[in-house]
Structure 1
């Protein structure tokens, strides 16, 4: 007798339920391991959202999804207005080099009871069916990727209107993850860069013929193709072509989907100077490309471009102007790709020899390099300011410390794969001192004058007793007794922590 799909799905759910009962029966808890039951009982205003993944974790792989359940507890009730919510989900590992780490990231798809996809608005981020639980395993600070995206979202947006406030980057929140009720670690739950977020037009299929409209490419390796400097005649019927991955429309890998990228590369690398100067604004959203260049330079995001970068055009049938969206931002702020310290600062010529940047900056087409300098100058006093960065870091520090999540993460994952600091302030001091130096390096490379303050530092014990507020008012109490904040000591901005 042939079994229909719905019956097969019901049988699968019954078998899964029985499996979870077996797993629960066999599981024993050490007295020093926090369980999901503990977390729910202790939930309060300081708690991070708590995520319990119930699944046969021995079957997890990167290759295919397995079915399970996700229980999300959030004191702030940002998901469907309840404190605790449960979803049917499909789960798999995600990542490339990070797959070698014991603490792995997860790709989550929310599904309906019949197994079909189901959009959910997780933690008020947005409604979607595809989510990321980022392990941040190689980041000693456990916040570089999230922090850099927050900074990007502050100042750079899509050059056209979308239903998500013109957002051109991920949004996410810290959570603590449990596997089958046992504490697994600190994660960041975020949405993905996809067609829906960027409002790319859907491909149209009619009478067996497909018309590709919106396009989304992701650089997935190094090479001439990824640098937008050239391409070879590799087959175009695959998901990956010349170091790029077709993210949308992934169902239709074809010449129709890849040819627009060849045309962009040809224009950037082969057009004559007159044609380039005349037409480059038809191919590149100029403000967006300036934003991205300043972004990767100031934060020294070295694993790009255009590897770990998205390129998209909203509707190739209506025009071929391309937008950049960043990705994978943890190789930044003084850290190398595998989690070691990288104390060097942004050098002269960083990433000005790839894609259109080679011509736009070196030839200063339409004053492009001048506009980069203006943007850098204004942003160093704004979104890239030391005060803004330190404020964002402090806000996350307070979340992780006050919730107890940093201590639990330290106890569970210190040294695996990177060493963590028991006192989070020690790691933050390294990042802030590095960032102060990088701002100085950027000013020197681009000849950007200071604002009258010699520099910015982070200290707990300045020698001088001449301390002023930012408004110029002299402070007459000992530095050690001052509240946290920014002060001027000997002409330097100093961050009191």
Structure 2
């Protein structure tokens, strides 16, 4: 019996070894997606006098074919050979109209794709440009101005490879400079703010109609969508990006069209003619992509915002203020979550929708659990979206409904996983309990215990920040209240939507703050002040002065006035964006596109700096008088 077991074990071992030896390794699918040959033959095209073979430029995915006679180009039938295992569209042997730009998409066995452009020329044909590629990056065509757009980092661009798509193009010229089509050159005038005229020439020297090439220094975003973009739901689109800095996905200057879903963004902003958008990259259907979409070196995520900034005469206030805030204030648990950012980062871009120029936008990250690095299991985040007795902290008396993601002016941004699965689930209780505590606790209880429920240093920075930039629309709404986890469950504030700042109100008019006005504190809770309403929570902190709160404000203000809130640093921030707008030419294009609610950039930034200097003096005097 024992021998039989030994024999069976040996046989089993032999079988396993035999099967492993016979098992084939997984086949690696090829990434090769090249066109190996491109021919237009008499066999398939009887009108031709001979066969023609295209010259293939694989590094630039360009094929040129020079015909000896003026054949009709609208029904030619090419034959192609592609990499083994790859497929091509249109297929080899398919009739093609070469009077238009023709492209062939080759898909490798692995799914990798390459797009080739074909240029046919005839002796008597008039050269015409239907597309421009620079360093294999397709320039964006704007039908409203009949111009192509490209972006470069600065005026020291160096050599570039220029390829003009179309027909009968042998050479291209701009001014007195001429070069062969699809050649590497230093192109004169290719610097931010310039508009070049590119003229095509045929092999016989015949010239075609010139096209305009507008050069920016800001990233360019192109949205391609077939339907109408609405508030909800998101509709399918494709989004591409030209990144002059090469920061996208750490190295890309061109982010090719990526499937996404897009919708309108904002409340009041949706009534403006220039729309803001939010979009998310998707793999298919509604499946969101969370990686491989690291735009402009920002976070690697699928969710993004395109802020139109329509009401802001300088088109920079929200970005300027948010930059200042995230430099001033860090999340209170930064040592535990070093990637957390208490706000959003972003860059100014120029946006096109279906080859039509939309204007100057700011591409920004979103404020969410990932940005704040809240605990998935235990963190909470709430967004104050409109004025109410709860967002103004007058009381928290409104009834809560844990089946709803909205409560009395608040929206649920993130709910802890443990709270979502508990019975009954916990959704609004943490926020309501906090609001009711700030409004209804006894003075002694408030003085002794408010520091266990809120991050005092964050509140100090927030009050000073609001008053420095004049953010009077952010005293109740336009804020996030969040906490990290059960072990770090003190609420902290994150501002958003800061267009009403730097001397202008939420509707774009100028604001004339007075010496005795401290935003968030001056006025009567629940009623209109001269501008927006104060916050009962902020008022109580000032009146009861727990932990020497007023002295904390004064001490922190003195520190900030030597650093982030010094006039040299504030001036430098404004000037940086003013130069970007001027050098790129983007601000003038924005003024022509959207002439309402916009002022000359030099005039407006001078007003902003004059206003902020006066406001610094006002806050200096107010805090010294506490």
**TM-score range, shorter-chain basis?**
0.7 to 0.9
Q: Which residue of 2 aligns with 1:110?
A: 281
Q: What is the alpha-carbon distance in structure 1 between the residues aligned to residue 443 and residue 142 of structure 2?
A: 68
Q: Which residue of 1 aligns with 2:445?
A: 275
The answer on 1:340 being equivalent to 2:494 is no
* Higher strand residue share: 2
TM-score (norm 1): 0.77
Deviations for 1:195-243, whole angstroms, at most 9, x for unmatched residues? 011111224xxxxxxxxx2111011111210112212242412111121
Is the 8 Å Cα contact of residues 108 and 131 (structure 1) preserved in structure 2? yes
Is the 8 Å Cα contact of residues 174 and 189 (structure 1) preserved in structure 2? yes
Q: Which residue of 2 aligns with 1:362?
A: 543
Secondary structure of the corresponding residue to residue 433 of structure 1: helix
Q: What is the alpha-carbon distance in structure 2 between the residues aligned to residue 443 and residue 383 of structure 1?
A: 15
* Higher helix residue share: 1
Gaps of 5+ in 1: 1-20, 204-212, 450-497
Q: What is the alpha-carbon distance in structure 2 between the residues aligned to residue 346 and residue 176 of structure 1?
A: 39
The answer on 1:140 being equivalent to 2:317 is no
Aligned mate of 1:221, from 386, 405, 414: 386
Q: What is the alpha-carbon distance in structure 1 between the residues aligned to residue 327 and residue 310 of structure 2?
A: 25
Is the 8 Å Cα contact of residues 223 and 239 (structure 2) preserved in structure 1? yes
Q: What is the alpha-carbon distance in structure 1 between the residues aligned to residue 313 and residue 457 of structure 2?
A: 33
Q: Which residue of 2 aligns with 1:375?
A: 556
Q: Kindly indicate whether structure 1 or structure 2 has the higher relative contact order, using CA contacts under 8 Å at least 6 residues apart.
A: 1
| Aligned ranges 1:471-490 → 2 under 5 Å | none
- Aligned residue pairs, count: 410
Is the 8 Å Cα contact of residues 332 and 458 (structure 2) preserved in structure 1? yes
Aligned mate of 2:229, from 51, 57, 60: 60
Secondary structure of the corresponding residue to residue 371 of structure 1: helix
Following superposition, the deviation at residue 77 of structure 1 comes to 0.9
Following superposition, the deviation at residue 289 of structure 1 comes to 0.6
Gaps of 5+ in 2: 1-101, 103-129, 131-140, 153-159, 163-188, 193-215, 522-533
Is the 8 Å Cα contact of residues 125 and 171 (structure 1) preserved in structure 2? yes
Following superposition, the deviation at residue 314 of structure 1 comes to 1.1
Following superposition, the deviation at residue 34 of structure 1 comes to 4.1
Change (3 A) 1:320 1:228: farther
Q: What is the alpha-carbon distance in structure 2 between the residues aligned to residue 134 and residue 296 of structure 1?
A: 21
Q: Which residue of 2 aligns with 1:170?
A: 344
Q: What is the alpha-carbon distance in structure 2 between the residues aligned to residue 121 and residue 435 of structure 1?
A: 34
Deviations for 1:6-55, whole angstroms, at most 9, x for unmatched residues? xxxxxxxxxxxxxxx9xx9xxx9667354457999897676100000011
Q: What is the alpha-carbon distance in structure 2 between the residues aligned to residue 387 and residue 227 of structure 1?
A: 34
Change (3 A) 1:255 1:235: farther
Cα RMSD, aligned residues only: 2.7
Aligned mate of 1:420, from 594, 599, 613: 599
| Aligned ranges 1:122-141 → 2 under 5 Å | 122-141=295-314
Change (3 A) 1:77 1:113: farther
Deviations for 1:136-182, whole angstroms, at most 9, x for unmatched residues? 00000100000001111112000112655442010000000001122
Which sits farther off after the overlay, 357-366 or 399-408?
357-366
Change (3 A) 1:34 1:295: farther
Secondary structure of the corresponding residue to residue 348 of structure 1: coil
Aligned mate of 2:431, from 246, 252, 261: 261
